[in-house]
Amino acid sequence: MITFRPIFVHELHAFAAVSTPTHRHQSIIDYVQEMFTKGAMRPEWCFILEREGVGIGRVAFWTLPGKDSPSDIVLLDLPWEDENGSELAELLWQHLLVTCRQMGVQQLGYVLDSPAMAPHWQDHAEQRQKILGNLGFHLQRETSRFEWKNNPGITSAPNVLPHMDERVIYRSLSEVGEIAFIDAIMRGSASTLDRQIAQERAEYGPLSQAQEIYQDLQGMSYEPDWWELAYTPDDQLIGFIIPTRSPTFATIGYIGVLPEFRGRGYVDLLLNRGLFSLVQAGESCIRTDTDLQNQPMANAFLRAGFHLFAQRSEYRFRSFG
């Protein structure tokens, strides 16, 4: 008999052990406990699939802290090499559908990183991709993932010292306000090489999409002085930089240069400015993503000292009926 149920807090070790080699258990336990503390996961959002009382599958929901309902699936694991794997995935999904409808979830995402790494350990990528497709998830974005690391406590690394450039005047979110930032995001997203942003811009309209991006970024942790707009001395908007913290790492939440100012090196100044804000705040590891097709942005990350460490496929299920 196969059953599906949420776990109790004292079962966290058993939850981490499902379909997972022993040497990976602690990284999963540490991750889940950290997410519980930060409010991105809850014990009642962690589920286990059991056959005769033995765990054979698991899944957990995740969201930005402060949100009442899940936005993403994490820690999805099944006996991937089992000949009945597809049937087990379908059974797990049917239970999750009921749970999502009860919680009023409108959409649900899942990200698949390659190579597999802590804390999600997403081995068996092909099986995962096939099962996601069978369940109705659609691939909406593919990105390159970049990471920048510094020694703890060092805030003056050569590649993150703020470059003084008389071509640029910076004004923070506290100075310019929300409307100016939304306008900058809307203008900076024009002619983007990011396929998801371009699609959403066409689907929802430039202003609505900019407002949604702004609200999503507002849901992350940040200091208002980190968010800056860049202007020329004669007050023309050049672009923006929006550093943030997610529940798991610091990141360049969004960066953009207006089309008429691209190709002049401004992206390097903005990226360096964002890095400096995060390093000054004590961050020593910063991660960020860019669309696989956005090679100019990828090159900017490399120039700033980031290294490519993974590729990510972002999936989304959009309708719960």
**Is the per-residue pLDDT at 11 higher than 90?**
yes
The verdict on domain 148-311 having CATH code 3.40.630.30 is: yes
Give the mean model confidence (pLDDT) for residues 246-255: 95
Find how far residue 152's CA is from the centre of its chain: 23
DSSP state of 117: -
Euclidean distance between CA atoms 146 and 123, whole angstroms = 20
The label of the residue with tokens 């200091």 reads: 223
Q: Give the model confidence (pLDDT) of 262-300 as tens digits.
A: 999 999 999 999 999 999 999 999 999 999 999 999 999
Same fold, 2-136 and 148-311: yes
For the segment 171-186, what is each residue's pLDDT rounded down to a tens digit?
999 999 999 999 999 9
Q: Which residue has the tokens 């309708």?
A: 319
Instruction: State what percent of residues in the chain have pLDDT above 70.
Output: 95
This prediction's pTM:
0.89
Assigned CATH for 2-136: 3.40.630.30
Q: How far apart, in whole angstroms, are the C-alpha atoms of residue 271 and residue 171?
A: 15
Domain ranges of the chain: 2-136, 148-311
| Whole-Å CA distances, 26 to 15, 35, 56, 122 | 11, 14, 19, 16
Distance (Å, whole) CA 178 – CA 265: 26
